[in-house]
Amino acid sequence: MRWSPGHRSGNVIDRRGASGGGLGLGGGMGIGGTVVVLILSLLFGRNLFQDGGVSTEQTTQTAGGDVAPVNETPEERARFDLVNSVVDDIQPVWRGILEKHGAQYRDAKVVLFRGATQSGCGVGQSAMGPFYCPTDERVYLDLGFFEELEKRFGAVGDFAQAYVIAHEIGHHVQHILGADAQVRQRQEQRPNEANELSVRLELQADCYAGVWGRSTDQRRILDPGDIEEGLNAAAAIGDDKLSGGRLRPESFTHGSSKERESWFRRGFESGDPESCNTFAGAR
């Protein structure tokens, strides 16, 4: 993928140099408790840390969103540059798409951190992988995930990393359109369908990532093999692959490798978000 090293996005907040990951927890809550509250916050779209009286103060940042100077390897610097470029490529595409459909897009912020950090949904940890928080409309990402994606799951290449970012911003598009709120409501009404609805939401975000991917192809900024990198990344992080085949399909929350690859491909081939209705018919 052709992108610009050194580009700096106003929508990327760099907390990698924050002391203690930018945490300011109070209330004596342990790590296990914070993870539980975070999951519930994401599920219900409310900051339950604030509801429970837990501090969510961030460390002091500069006006540009940066914190202390960051010690980084050349590989991490390249990933940092990629995120800045990709974020500023994805969001104008979605702004144009939503305008054509009579909706108004607003930019999401992408927060880079190490270890753990505060989010509008509570404490985010590297072990959770990248996630989108609808409460503050931010994507949270530890760049170390890209190294794991490559070394552990064999998903190599810059477009594999771009797919991850596009997937998370796909959740932001869902939030703007109200899909996530509708899913939460249905999950509350039908708890036995909670996992199934979660899978369909995730697969739609995969399809949205493919829609953006189509635009990069049309603008001729892809290199040979890029789409294969995206498809490989989608397949690499299916529930069946991540669990080593130990999870049963009814316990999936993100979809199988085959499903994730299929929906990314559908978005890429159509370039139309209308083709991404994962809630109709079979997955």
Rounded mean pLDDT, 222-227: 89
The phi and psi torsions of 2 (rounded to 5 degrees) equal -90, 115
What's the mean pLDDT when you consider all of the chain? 82
DSSP 8-state secondary structure symbol assigned to residue 30 = -
HSE of 37 in the Cβ direction (CA atoms, 13 Å)? 24
Q: Which residues contact 207 (CB under 8 A, 6 or more apart)?
A: 170, 263, 264, 266, 267, 273, 275, 276, 278
- pLDDT, average across residues 38-67: 44
**Residue 139 φ then ψ, to 5°:** -95, 135
Q: Which residue has better confidence, 223 or 84?
A: 84
Indicate whether this model's pTM tops 0.85.
Answer: no
> How many percent of the chain have pLDDT more than 70?
77
Query: For the stretch 197-220, what's the b/e string if a residue is b when 16 or more beta carbons lie within 10 angstroms of its beta carbon?
Result: bbbbbbbbbbbbbbbbbbbbeeee
Mean pLDDT, residues 177-201: 92
pLDDT digits (tens, 9 = 90+) for 105-115: 999 999 999 99
Residue 187 three-state SS: helix
Residue 92 pLDDT exceeds 70 = yes
Chain segment 247-265, per-residue pLDDT in tens: 455 455 667 888 999 999 9
Strand partners of residue 118: 123
pLDDT at 201: 94
Q: Quick one: pLDDT band at residue 242, thresholds 50, 70, 90?
A: low
Query: CA 241 to CA 224: how far, in whole Å?
Result: 26
- Residues comprising the chain, all counted: 283
H or E element at residue 180: helix 179-189
Q: Which residue has the higher pLDDT, 158 or 37?
A: 158
Give, in degrees to the nearest 5, the angle at Cα 280 between 276 and 283. Answer: 75
For residue 40, the 8-state DSSP code is H
